[in-house]
Amino acid sequence: MLDVEKIRNDFPILSRKVNGKPLVYLDNAATSQTPKQVIDAIVEYYSNYNSNIHRGVHTLSQEATDAYERSRENLQKHFNAKHSHEIIFTSGTTHSINLVANGFIPFLTNEDEILVSEMEHHSNIVPWQMLCEKTGAKLKVIPMTEDGELDLNSYTNLLSSNTELVFVNHISNTLGTINPIEEIIEKAHKNSAAVLIDGAQACPHVVPDVQSLDVDFYVTSAHKMCGPTGIGMLYGKEEWLKKLPPYQGGGEMIEEVTFEKSTYADLPHKFEAGTPNICGGIAFGAAIDYMNSIGFENIAAYENEILIYASQELRKIDGLRIYGTAKHKTSVISFNLEGIHPYDVGTILDKMGIAVRTGHHCTQPIMDYYNIPGTVRASFSFYNTKQEVDLLVNAVKKAKRMLS
């Protein structure tokens, strides 16, 4: 069991008021809040050893380099990568996906096919569309079902000798669906296709073991899991990272530069051009430490309890429909009130201090599937409470009365 009140004391922002009401923060799928332990790591860096890394012989540079590389090793252990150089620091999930998409340009032709799922975030759709435009490869879509699960029979039928790449999210940011990525990866590999998993929504709730999954690429962002914005991770199998060309050119990613020719640095620096987000990388490691101190099994169990309670209470409201009713899902609830635009509901909830997300959540194909303009999305974290769920439910009821 979690001591939620003690945990909430770690998050300074949770004590503030919005529109004169205590903040009820239910927008965790967009970005999670940051505990003091991570804030302290950021302050510590800028207060005591702010310096550029890898190239300096002075003490501050060495201290910053050591802290940054310790964070990389921290991520390696957390995700169980075989080598620390398989962990590439990026600016976030979107950057990670674009890095891989750009890297595959030399390897695809107009005879090749790429599979993505219907429930992907735009960041896991648009880069592959751009890749197809550059290479002539064809993009094919794995359909979803009414309850928000992937149609695995259709996926199996879509796989062919022409399939080179498969891209699927681990957990849907809109529906909360936990996709069966083990089966998806296994089937793709039997077909000799590489797989990238978008783990942005999964990593706050579970610990992916990239070796056990046998995944080729796994990507995520720190700001979804109690870390800062502007920093993320690309895990890639060593053999793939060695094959892919650099995404950007500049300092740090080179071994030798002449005007005739440049040679590139070894992994991971080959993909880390320029001065990185040093503080962000260090804070990412601190966020991993913080969440592991609570325990991901504890987090998952508590969030599932919140999900069940919130789903049960929201369903009692007449005219409310929840989108995403998969058997396996995490603590995300997307819903609408019949005849009321989600934006209007979200605006009223904000007046009562409740932060939710409204719109298509960068998953417009999902909205097109259900023929809706968007949803109200309440996404819960381990620092939320059942009392906050009650406040949400009462606020939704009030919004319904005001807008009906």
Our measurement of the distance from residue 159's CA atom to the centroid of its chain's CA atoms, rounded to an integer in Å, reads: 26
List Cα–Cα distances, 263 to 90, 105, 149, 243, 266, in angstroms: 21, 20, 46, 14, 10
Whether residue 373 is preceded by a cis peptide bond, meaning omega within 30 degrees of 0, is: no
Strands 254-257 and 232-236: unpaired
Query: 339 burial class (0-12, 13-18, 19+ CB within 10 angstroms)?
Result: exposed
Within 13 Å, how many C-alpha atoms sit on residue 27's CB side? 19
Catalytic-role residue among 132, 203, 279, 362: 362
Question: Which residue do the tokens 């302290």 mark?
Answer: 40
Catalytic annotation present for 279: no
Distance (Å, whole) CA 231 – CA 229: 6
Catalytic amino acids?
A: 362
